[in-house]
Amino acid sequence: MFFSKGSALSAFEDLGSVGFRPFSAAFIAYMQQMGYRMQRSFPDCQFSYRSKDELLLMLECARRYNFMYGENLLVSLVNGGKDHSPLWLKVCQMESRVRNNDVLGVIVDKLFENHIQPIVNTDEKVIGYEFLLRPASRRRPFSPLELFAAARESGLHSSLDQAARLAAIETSARHLPRGIKRFINILPSSIERPCQCLNDTFKTIERFALDARDFVFEVVETERIRHIAHLQHIFAVCRGHGISMALDDVGAGFSSVVEMSRLQPDYVKIDRSIVSGCRHDAHKQRQIKEIIRRAIDFGGKVLVEGVERREDFEFCLDSGAVLAQGYLFGRPGKP
């Protein structure tokens, strides 16, 4: 849901009311001092707005009030003066949803599709594909990174993560035969309770009569992994349903070699920043060999990403990598 419960609103009206709770006389006085007139005070404190800009200014005032007085106001929109069983959000989340209304409409209206990029073995035979989120229409373009960032700020990243995952599973059911691996990204921070949060995922695999062993869930995260135990729980739940696990971007960003050794994923994906140009870079060569050595210790299969030059591919193979992905073997495209 975007701005309300019971309906998926991808836009809001320019004329409406915004409610706050819990509220106090001090908050009402503060808002009136800022030039806003209260519309009603029961059961919540409501102020009217006449444009998106005015609404954003009002939310900014509420956010400043929270900061100055240590309050934790919640906010909802009541468009057109009607009660839509409003969804109560943190002020910062509502502010982000209003500010990024057009971008977040992509989530609500599911204006995305999956492209796939081949993954090959040492003989350059395609053994699977990674599923990548892309705009469904040129008229509503978006950057996947920006879309997930806006979703995170707005408290919608769990909804987006699940919608993208289910869409990838359905796409794979239509286009890929059994025995072909399907690498699908998951965000650990969006999965608070793995058994419940992933239930729809497991049911979708069953509904299409797919083999869970064909699926590999890639842990993709833009934040440092602080709770290894939680991630290990996600691994255990997925593996309990027959799904393999992969750790993405190993060697760069927040996916460290130490975390890799603790999690012991089935697949280890070495980041493209290390793979690119590795044939002539001694430092990168040492990194790649160390990651492969550690992965072999726990039985992980190493996949090198971003392979564009054959000489880099050959070095990685000689070092022990067994899978590869990159423009050398095929660009992402529609299935």
Tell me the pLDDT tens digit for each residue of 142-183.
Answer: 888 888 888 888 888 888 899 999 999 999 999 999 999 999
Task: Report the 10 Å Cβ neighbour count for 74.
Answer: 19
In eight-state DSSP terms, residue 86 is B
Cα–Cα dist 319/174, whole Å: 36
- For 117-137, write each residue's pLDDT tens digit: 999 999 999 999 999 999 988
- Amino acid at position 137, single letter: S
Cα–Cα dist 295/52, whole Å: 52
Q: Which residues does residue 183 pair with via DSSP β-bridges, in sequence order?
A: 130, 216
* pLDDT score of 277: 97
* pLDDT score of 156: 82
Overall fold of domain 105-325: TIM Barrel (3.20.20)
Greatest mean pLDDT among 69-83, 210-224, 318-332 = 318-332
- For 208-247, write each residue's pLDDT tens digit: 999 999 999 999 864 556 678 889 999 999 999 999 999 9
Which single residue is written with the structure tokens 């982000």?
96
Please state the length of the chain: 335
What pLDDT band is residue 64 in, cutting at 50, 70 and 90? very high
pTM of the model: 0.83
What pLDDT band is residue 306 in, cutting at 50, 70 and 90? very high
**Helix, coil or strand: residue 6:** coil
Overall fold of domain 16-98: Alpha-Beta Plaits (3.30.70)
Q: Residue 296 in contact with residue 276, Cβ under 8 Å?
A: no
Q: Residue 320 in contact with residue 290, Cβ under 8 Å?
A: no
Cα–Cα dist 127/22, whole Å: 55
List the 45-49 sheet strands across, edge first: 38-40, 45-49, 16-21, 74-79, 89-90
Helices (H), the chain: 25-33, 52-69, 91-99, 101-108, 144-153, 157-175, 194-197, 199-207, 228-240, 257-263, 272-275, 282-298, 310-319
Cα–Cα dist 173/242, whole Å: 17
In eight-state DSSP terms, residue 188 is G
Cα–Cα dist 275/309, whole Å: 10
Please report, for the chain, the start and end positions of each structural domain, with discontinuous segments joined by +.
Answer: 16-98, 105-325
Task: Report the 10 Å Cβ neighbour count for 75.
Answer: 23
Cα–Cα dist 40/317, whole Å: 69
Half-sphere exposure of 102 (CA within 13 A, CB side): 6
The predicted model gives 269-293 an average pLDDT of 96
Q: What is the sign, positive or negative, of the torsion defined by CA atoms of 1, 165, 185, 140?
A: negative
Cα–Cα dist 15/316, whole Å: 60
Cα–Cα dist 318/312, whole Å: 10
Residue 111: pLDDT above 50?
A: yes
